[in-house]
Structure 1
Amino acid sequence: MTVQDVRAFNRFYTRLIGALDYGRHLYAPYSLTESRVLYELAHDGLMDAADLRARLDLDAGYLSRILTRFVDAGLIEREPSAADQRRRRLALTERGREVAALLDERARERVAALLDTVPPRDRRRLTEAMHTIRGILDGGHTEPQAPTEVVLRDPLPGDLGWIVQRNGAVYAAEYGWNAEYEGLVARIVAEFAERHDPRRERVWIAESRGRPVGCVMCVQDGKGASTARLRLLLVEPEARGRGVGDRLVRAVIDFARQAGYRELVLWTNDVLAAARRLYERHGFTLVAERPHHSFGKDLVGQDWRLELS
């Protein structure tokens, strides 16, 4: 990437934002900066003027003029801070909240209209690209956000390919496994896609903020119709510690019972300590171990079993 690449993207995005505000009606009669001030006050409630200035990186005199205009228009109230009389606390009035809500609704409508022009298959890529840009350029300084809901769903077009790609990338990064593992995952996924029985076999995708953060598969084991196999459990690093793995394993267990299987088995490796603890919590027992050299590493494979009846 070059400086020109970044500047070209900035020019494109600036034009895009301008197109969203075509005719300058989106925030009228307020400027974009004034609308940002109203947005921050609407979402954070009481706030010191100094904190607001720092958050929006505004000149003190410029912000003071905006706030004076808002006071005169009956949009905000200013009062001394109880903790420090030198600081001023800001709060929206009822009229201020109405104006902020109107501006927010207009913005939502314009963005929704923009997204309507994006094919559904491309929206996830767009979301992932936005998260990637923000995460890299922010340098980890984004304010902590409340945990978002994680939903389990059936795979959409492209999700099976995502399972292969993320398994290959995550295990290479965390354990140094080579392309042999990605090839194994690709064969497992291809076999499922070509000839799975939807009544007795299933894949789950864990999704957060519109993007996949985990997966797991339940298939009939080759040993017979009474045995199911749990395969390809994966939770993205960013989603760990939120119970995603527990929910995925529980989904497989519940489905296997409902499908009439009598036992559920899985194969893993001893280096996957977090996964092994997860299986133990759900009642799996270790039934066999054997060393092997796979994926470019010396490993100890493990067979685990759960009685379902």
Structure 2
Amino acid sequence: MNRNFTITRIDSLRASARCIVRELGFMQKGLAGTELSPSAVHTIIEIGYGTVTNASELGALLHLEKSSISRLVQKLEAEGLIEVGLDPDDKRSRKLSLTKRGEELLAEVEMFARHALSAALEKRSDKDIRLIESGLDMFAKALSGQDKSVSAVPPELTIHSGYRSEIIASVVRLHAAYYSQNYGFGAVFERKVATELSEFMGRIDRPSNATFSAYRSNELLGTVSLDGEDLGQGNCHLRWFIVSPRAQGMRIGSLLLEKATSFIDQAAFEQTRLWTFKGLDAARHLYEKHGFVLANETPGAQWGTEVVEQEFVRLRPA
């Protein structure tokens, strides 16, 4: 044991950790209002968020041996919560995805967990909540061995900043393909992305604006932009955040948002806003993980299709 830490101090941290485990229900038969084991609930969440796409990634994330993961996957598949199929990008790997029933269970788990945390934080001040957020994030990273700064970039990836040749076309292509296939967005959405992104790239060299993009060789796998001008002084607009379906499980979304929030904090914006729509649960998880809070929700059709539009806000850390 490091002699800089007394046994009393370590045991105090352990007591707090045990309290969190108890109060979140990890000692109960079912977790988050389900009849599933903690590992099963975690599996539903991580597959739903796109954090993992196969059994190998799941085993590494949950720190479980191959045989345990195999039994877990078989059980959840038998219960109709997940599907196991061939990965089109790697025929040797089996891709995990949620069934409709699994997606419904994920929504129930999310509602349960959000209610539990909301109840716990309801009477706390904004300052206390920010302190809790930063403390838990730092504690989680310390336990997992992660550095407190931006996470390491996988060796096969390169994170670029600023304009790159063909980036406008590549970002528009990613958005158009994903939202057309999954949500039926059409010409209005594609034209809006192309027009506004082109205008933004004309002022990308100004210090209040930034774009971060993840590449594997010459293939764009994800991107996010920060517009520090269009919402007025002291405000930042997080825009065009997207990760290619081919890059699921590579943590590109987290890497890009860590880059984005680092830029936001260094530029000292008072608040950062983003607009999205209900149903993008994996993205919402990442937004909330990086300090964004849902501020408004209303039906709208600014992207050419009727959806429940959402506005998220991130305030400058105290």
TM-score, normalising length from structure 1? 0.51
The question of 1:216 aligning with 2:224 is answered: yes
Partner of 2:158: 151
Aligned residues: 170
Q: Percent identity?
A: 29
- Closer, same or farther: CA 287–221 of 1 in aligned 2, 3 Å: farther
AA paired with 1:268?
Answer: T
The question of 1:230 aligning with 2:238 is answered: yes
Q: Take 2:217 and 2:284, find their aligned partners in 1: how far apart are those partners? A: 28
- Closer, same or farther: CA 304–211 of 1 in aligned 2, 3 Å: same
AA paired with 1:199?
Answer: P
Q: Gaps spanning 5+ residues in structure 1: where?
A: 1-137
The question of 1:270 aligning with 2:286 is answered: no
Q: 1:299 aligns with which of 294, 303, 307?
A: 307
Q: Take 2:289 and 2:166, find their aligned partners in 1: how far apart are those partners? A: 32
Secondary structure at the aligned position of 1:149 is classed as: coil
Partner of 2:258: 250
Partner of 1:191: 199
Secondary structure at the aligned position of 1:195 is classed as: coil
How far is the alpha carbon of 1:271 from its aligned partner?
2.1
Q: After the TM superposition, which segments of 4 or more aligned residues of structure 1 sit over 4 Å from their partners?
A: 138-144
How far is the alpha carbon of 1:222 from its aligned partner?
3.1
AA paired with 2:256?
Answer: L
Q: Take 2:248 and 2:88, find their aligned partners in 1: how far apart are those partners? A: 20
TM-score, normalising length from structure 2? 0.50
Q: Take 2:295 and 2:197, find their aligned partners in 1: how far apart are those partners? A: 26
Partner of 1:172: 180
Note the aligned Cα RMSD (angstroms).
2.1
Q: Gaps spanning 5+ residues in structure 2: where?
A: 1-86, 94-153
- Greater relative contact order (Cα 8 A, min sep 6): structure 1 or 2? 2
> Is the radius of gyration larger for structure 1 or structure 2?
1
Answer yes or no: is the 8 Å Cα contact 2:204–2:211 preserved in 1: no
- Closer, same or farther: CA 141–303 of 1 in aligned 2, 3 Å: closer
Q: Take 1:273 and 1:158, find their aligned partners in 2: how far apart are those partners? A: 29
How far is the alpha carbon of 1:168 from its aligned partner?
1.0
Secondary structure at the aligned position of 1:297 is classed as: coil
Q: Take 2:240 and 2:203, find their aligned partners in 1: how far apart are those partners? A: 17
How far is the alpha carbon of 1:142 from its aligned partner?
4.4
Q: 1:261 aligns with which of 269, 274, 282?
A: 269
